[in-house]
A and B are shown apart, each in its own frame.
Chain A
Amino acid sequence: MAHQVESERLVSVFAYPMPYEWSIGLYGSKFFQEIKQNRRFVGIRCNGCGKVYVPPRRVCGPCFQELAELVALSDTGVITAFSVVNYPFIDPNTGARRPIPYTYGYIKLDGADNIFSHIINETDLSKIKVGMKVRAIFKDTAEMQGNIQDIKYFDIVA
């Protein structure tokens, strides 16, 4: 075939998922255990800058310092940003498709200095605004699995 030939361009398809098993670590584990045992959040305070992080982690980036002081947080917070999402989302853990629309929220939990993210149970744009107060709704304890979906969503309370 010395001359140029026209032909269909093919593709190689891979559809098998790549599995992972990530460690959650000490403070991540405590975060989920606190939800299951006491239905509340726990954060961690930096003794350098005083900032309270949620979820808790070992290091404060700006201070490059080990964190160790766990602090209990409320189950309430304030919406700092949100988006009503209108395209489908496939849960990478279960493969299940989340019904659309759904609302992804940036929530400042009372007592924390950074922003926590989760789902807000409101998709009607006339009923949701930045600055509104929200409360976490947890799964029944018996159904909790020690992951982020032990929190069902946040409900707007005011």
Chain B
Amino acid sequence: MDNAAIVGVAQTKYERRKKDQILADLVFDVTRAALDDAGLAIGDIDSVVTVSNDFFDGRTISGMAVGDAAGGEDKNISTVSGDGAFGAFYGLMRVLSGYKATIVVAHYKGSEGSVPITTNGMFDPIFHRHLGIDAISAAALQADAYMARFGIREEDVAQVSVKNHGNAKNNPYAQLPMDITVADVMKSRKIAEPLKLLDCCPISDGAAAIIIANEEIAARTKKKPVWVKGVAHCCEEYFLGDRRLSDPVALQDAARRAYAMAGITDPMAEIDVAEVLEPFSYMEPLWLEGLGFCKPGEGAHLIEKGITTMGGRLPVNPSGGALSANPILVAGLARLIEATLQVRGEAGDRQVKNAATALAHGFNGPCGQSHCVWIMGGKK
């Protein structure tokens, strides 16, 4: 693979309701901020990828409505209707196919549509939607399958919520920085067994943008380029019942291929920090298993042993993760931005010391139907 780098990043603060701004405002703000971050002008950009979803935006071919705000005038612009980590993948493909610099911009306002209806809309309209399944109840099924298979207790996964809301205190973009305890999580309102309120992400509004560039552009950007060392994505079956929910095989496959591309043989030893997309607390240990940081069923031990906390060997979600702000679609791009900031050494109070290699992860579809894994590094 030719070298390509992330040379500019920007995020809005994530909030429950950004009433004052329309989607195009959010996109315009982060597009300009990402250009400023890179020290590039809109004329340096020759390709635009928006991350837009018609059900979420309530608009047909929703990417078109934010084209002007994304600087798409006179440019090749197209849309990924899925998580921002996949939007970034498409942006990378464009750079590898000859564009010099692609801006990838994702937006989401959970406050404008009905989250239960739009996430119910992910499911099959003939066999599943009538039953009421949505993002939360599907996650509850996966949590139950995972926890029952390995004997994981609710208190074990509650620690993830405690850690990530605590980490969010160091992230000025996070929506829910909180000092909470395992007991707080345990006594929070039951949402769908075994998930309680504090096991679940909030509804969020926000936007984020990155600029992916070839070596020629990366040689003259303001900030240190952060290079794509490895990346892969993989998908499994659509129907939840066709999958083994406690066994994220698509993630295992994506991770294996991303590591091979990056030359990583021992992820725990070679990766310094990970940002994984965990809108529900149990997802963090499950994804860490899929990513090969430990054996299946042992993900919860990582937090228990302090390995994934800020001072640990592999800090996971120093940003506070999706539990602390979950603008759907934007959230995977935010993970990649956080990984980029870590490698730059610009993550502020959430900076992991000497973070040379960072992992970012996003997923699409209920219970992680497809996963995208990025390995980012400071050296070409």
A residues neighboring B (CB under 8 Å)? 12, 14, 18-26, 28, 57-62, 64, 66
Q: Are A19 and B114 in contact (CB under 8 A)?
A: yes
Q: Are A18 and B24 in contact (CB under 8 A)?
A: no
Q: Report if B71 contacts A (CB, 8 A).
A: yes
Closest 4 CB pairs of A and B: A61-B68, A25-B22, A20-B58, A61-B73
Give B48 Cβ to nearest chain A Cβ, in Å: 11
Q: Report if B25 contacts A (CB, 8 A).
A: yes
Partner of A59, one of B20, B68, B112: B68
> How many of chain B's residues have a CB under 8 angstroms from any CB in A?
29
Q: Could you show 25 A-B contacts with beta carbons less than 8 Å apart?
A: A12-B125, A12-B126, A14-B129, A18-B55, A18-B58, A18-B117, A18-B118, A20-B58, A21-B113, A23-B18, A23-B19, A23-B21, A23-B109, A25-B22, A26-B20, A26-B25, A58-B24, A58-B28, A59-B24, A59-B68, A59-B69, A61-B67, A64-B42, A64-B68, A66-B28
Give A118 Cβ to nearest chain B Cβ, in Å: 20
By beta carbon, the residue of chain B nearest A13 is: B125
Task: Tell me which residues across on chain B come within 8 A of A57, comparing CB atoms.
Answer: 24
Q: Report if B111 contacts A (CB, 8 A).
A: yes
Q: Are A25 and B73 in contact (CB under 8 A)?
A: no
By beta carbon, the residue of chain B nearest A92 is: B58
Chain B residues 68-87 with CB under 8 Å of chain A are: 68-69, 71-74
Task: Tell me which residues across on chain B come within 8 A of A58, comparing CB atoms.
Answer: 24-25, 28, 69
Interface of A: prevailing SS: loop
By beta carbon, the residue of chain B nearest A16 is: B117
- Bound complex: CA A62 to CA B74 (Å): 8
Q: Are A28 and B22 in contact (CB under 8 A)?
A: yes
B residues neighboring A (CB under 8 Å)? 18-22, 24-25, 28, 42, 55, 58, 67-69, 71-74, 109, 111-114, 117-118, 121, 125-126, 129
Q: Given A12-B126, A64-B73, do A19 and B42 touch, yes or no (CB 8 Å)?
A: no
Task: Tell me which residues across on chain A come within 8 A of B28, comparing CB atoms.
Answer: 58-59, 66
Task: Tell me which residues across on chain B come within 8 A of A12, comparing CB atoms.
Answer: 125-126
- Bound complex: CA A20 to CA B22 (Å): 13
Give A65 Cβ to nearest chain B Cβ, in Å: 9
Task: Tell me which residues across on chain B come within 8 A of A62, comparing CB atoms.
Answer: 73-74
Task: Tell me which residues across on chain B come within 8 A of A25, comparing CB atoms.
Answer: 20-22, 24-25
Q: Are A19 and B22 in contact (CB under 8 A)?
A: no
Task: Tell me which residues across on chain A come within 8 A of B117, comparing CB atoms.
Answer: 18-19
Give A146 Cβ to nearest chain B Cβ, in Å: 14
Task: Tell me which residues across on chain A come within 8 A of B125, comparing CB atoms.
Answer: 12, 14
- Bound complex: CA A59 to CA B58 (Å): 21
- Bound complex: CA A73 to CA B74 (Å): 29
Give A95 Cβ to nearest chain B Cβ, in Å: 16
- Bound complex: CA A57 to CA B71 (Å): 14
Q: Are A20 and B113 in contact (CB under 8 A)?
A: yes
- Bound complex: CA A24 to CA B19 (Å): 8
By beta carbon, the residue of chain A nearest B109 is: A23
- Counting chain B CB atoms within 10 Å of each CB, the highest count among A21, A24, A62 belongs to A21
